[in-house]
């Protein structure tokens, strides 16, 4: 079941699924069905191509597999560092995906989507939606919402996505070969749209409003986790005090949320638990962890493949001020 932690109650919230036994009130149900039909009609008009997880995929924007599991853990541990001890922390008993709600699929599991009064402030949510798809109420200058965005070398994003989606792919379909995944990626075909467009959207927004959007790179987080964590805490309005730094709180959070620690916890291993994103999509906690390394693409990409992805990256990001994953000498 897809649950998420309620820090002030030291328990997990269980979403109320929309079922025949749990009907939405008549007016709301009609509005919901009307919106659902409108959405289905819209999807039918979108370009269609071969899918990573299913037979077909409809194109829209957003992305995944760039360090969000790690970021969720870091943000939850930082925001609640005065609430829990590190030796008996909720992240030791619950997967990082339970740290806070995933908005993209939450509406399929709980109704209405605005039902978050039970969450303590500050409320934290996760999404893969592109910046251009965010509602004005979230992205406008007058909004009090803040965004933390993490991206990584597109070559590593490809490898991680292929492994992850291969585990979720319908058993009724033949396996998706790496060469097929490579072509899909380079052509911008993904459940969450073209990688480069998605990254660039948040990058430009972060340059225009750095006080609202913190733009992080996975490679920087791996290289200097303590530095990036302190940057994250300051952006969240929860900077570490000199006394906390002296006591090693920064190091404790880095250690707690490290790949080595989280991936070896029982809850994130065989039979440890799973996340239900929709009635059809259930993902084992262990599937969110693979290697947690930078540069694993070198074990998969030929020089020609590397050059093609780097060329796309260089072209897409030209004159943007953003550099990401360019490796002239592989």
Domain limits, the chain: 54-316
| C-alpha span between 237 and 234 (Å, rounded) | 5
pLDDT at 140: 85
- 20, 34, 39, 56, 154 from 31: Cα distances, Å: 17, 5, 12, 28, 40
> For residue 67, what pLDDT band results from cuts at 50, 70 and 90?
confident
19-44: average pLDDT: 59
CA distance to 91, 103, 107, 127, per residue, from 2 (Å): 15, 12, 12, 15
Mean pLDDT confidence for 247-269: 89
Region of 67 (left: φ > 0; alpha: ψ -120 to 50; beta: rest) is left
pLDDT top residue among 246 and 12: 246
- Which residue in 128, 131, 163, 198 is the catalytic one? 128
CA nearest 203: which of 88, 81, 320?
Answer: 320
Asked if residues 299 and 128 have their Cβ atoms less than 8 Å apart, the reply is no
pLDDT in tens, 186-198: 999 887 779 999 9
Give the mean model confidence (pLDDT) for residues 227-248: 96
Confidence of residue 20 (pLDDT cuts 50, 70, 90): very low
pTM (predicted TM-score): 0.78
SS3 call for 263: helix
pLDDT tens digits along 118-134: 676 778 888 888 888 88
Question: How far is C-alpha 303 from the chain's CA centre?
Answer: 29
- pLDDT attached to residue 203: 96
Over 60: is that where the pLDDT of 228 sits? Answer: yes
Question: Thinking of the domain 54-316, which architecture would CATH place it in?
Answer: 3-Layer(aba) Sandwich (3.40)
Where do we find the tokens 């740290």? 99
Is 163 assigned a catalytic role?
Answer: no
| Residue 92 near residue 267, CB atoms below 8 Å | yes
Closest to 97 measured CA to CA, from 122, 128, 126: 126
Q: Assess contact for 96 and 241: CB atoms under 8 A.
A: no
The position carrying tokens 């004159």 is 319
Q: Helix, strand, coil proportions of the chain in percent (round to 5)?
A: 45, 10, 45
Can you read off the two tokens belonging to residue 108? 């399929």
User: How far is C-alpha 229 from the geometric centre of its chain's CA atoms?
Assistant: 17
């Amino acid at each position: 079941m897809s649950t998420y932690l309620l820090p002030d109650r030291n328990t997990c919230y269980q979403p109320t699924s929309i079922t025949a036994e749990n009907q939405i009130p008549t007016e709301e149900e009609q509005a919901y069905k009307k919106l659902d039909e409108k959405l289905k009609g819209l999807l039918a008009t979108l370009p269609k191509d071969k899918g990573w997880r299913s037979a077909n995929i409809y194109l829209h924007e957003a992305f995944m597999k760039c360090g969000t599991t790690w970021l969720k853990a870091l943000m939850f541990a930082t925001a609640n560092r005065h609430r829990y001890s590190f030796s008996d922390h909720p992240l030791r008993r619950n997967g990082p995906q339970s740290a806070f709600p995933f908005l993209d699929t939450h509406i399929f599991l709980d109704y209405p989507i605005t039902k978050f009064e039970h969450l303590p402030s500050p409320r934290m949510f996760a999404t893969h939606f592109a910046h251009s798809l965010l509602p004005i109420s979230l992205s406008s200058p007058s909004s009090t919402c803040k965004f933390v965005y993490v991206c990584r070398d597109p070559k590593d994003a490809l490898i991680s996505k292929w492994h992850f989606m291969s585990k979720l792919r319908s058993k009724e379909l033949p396996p998706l070969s790496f060469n097929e995944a490579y072509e899909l990626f380079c052509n911008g075909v993904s459940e969450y749209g073209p990688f480069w467009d998605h990254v660039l959207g948040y990058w430009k927004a972060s340059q225009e409003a750095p006080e609202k959007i913190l733009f992080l790179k996975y490679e920087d987080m791996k290289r200097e986790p303590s530095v990036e964590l302190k940057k994250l805490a300051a952006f969240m309005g929860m900077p570490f005090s000199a006394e906390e730094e002296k006591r090693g709180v920064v190091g404790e959070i880095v250690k707690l949320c490290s790949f080595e620690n989280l991936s070896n916890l029982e809850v994130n291993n065989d039979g440890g638990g799973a996340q239900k994103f929709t009635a059809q999509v259930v993902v084992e906690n262990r599937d969110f962890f693979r290697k947690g390394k930078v540069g694993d693409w070198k074990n998969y990409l030929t020089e020609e493949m590397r050059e093609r992805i780097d060329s796309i990256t260089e072209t897409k990001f030209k004159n943007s001020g953003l550099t990401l994953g360019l490796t002239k000498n592989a």
